Structure 1
Amino acid sequence: MKTKLFLAVTVLVVLNTACKKDVTCECTETTTQTQTGQNGTTTQTQNPVTTTTTYKNISKSDLGTLCGDRKYSNTYNNTSNGQTTTSIYDTDTKCKIK
């Protein structure tokens, strides 16, 4: 009985250790600003920004959340002297495991 329990605990420890490892994630983020106001619409894309992050002792299930592609958008309205300007920032992030 003790041998079976010891074997089961050993297998769990090995599996838990084998499933977690250090991973380096490289993400490139590109933001596009579209501004609409009295003078029409302008669009400007900022230079991409690349960041590298190393995650220590991470499980595969957490990796998709931390090192996954994502998109989001923010909208801001600014009114000055009766004129409203709308700025929309679209951010697209692409990530890969190094």
Structure 2
Amino acid sequence: LRLAALNLPSTGDMRGVRGADFRCFREARAAGLQGTFRAFLTSRVQNLDSIVRYQDRNLPVVNIKGEVLFNTWREIFSGSGAYFSHKPRIFSFDGKDVLNNPL
């Protein structure tokens, strides 16, 4: 499971979860990434933990460079605060380290 940030900040008006999912899809394809990318968002009709299929919830969560962020998807929601074991690096689809690089 790969975690990536959008290339630019958003005002929040993304036309709902589907609009945010579509933006993830477009940016992933523009970056040459294959697979399904979904927005890390919740709504009245979607719980955050449900965006990953049940059979994939024991897979590790990695950034787009393959560095492990969480040992499993379930670990994020275990109630222990989802602490990182090391300083995380989260990259945007265009490869910027969003936690350390200014826009």
Taking structure 1 as the reference length, the TM-score comes to 0.18
Taking structure 2 as the reference length, the TM-score comes to 0.17
Report the structure number with the largest CA radius of gyration: 1
More strand by share: 1
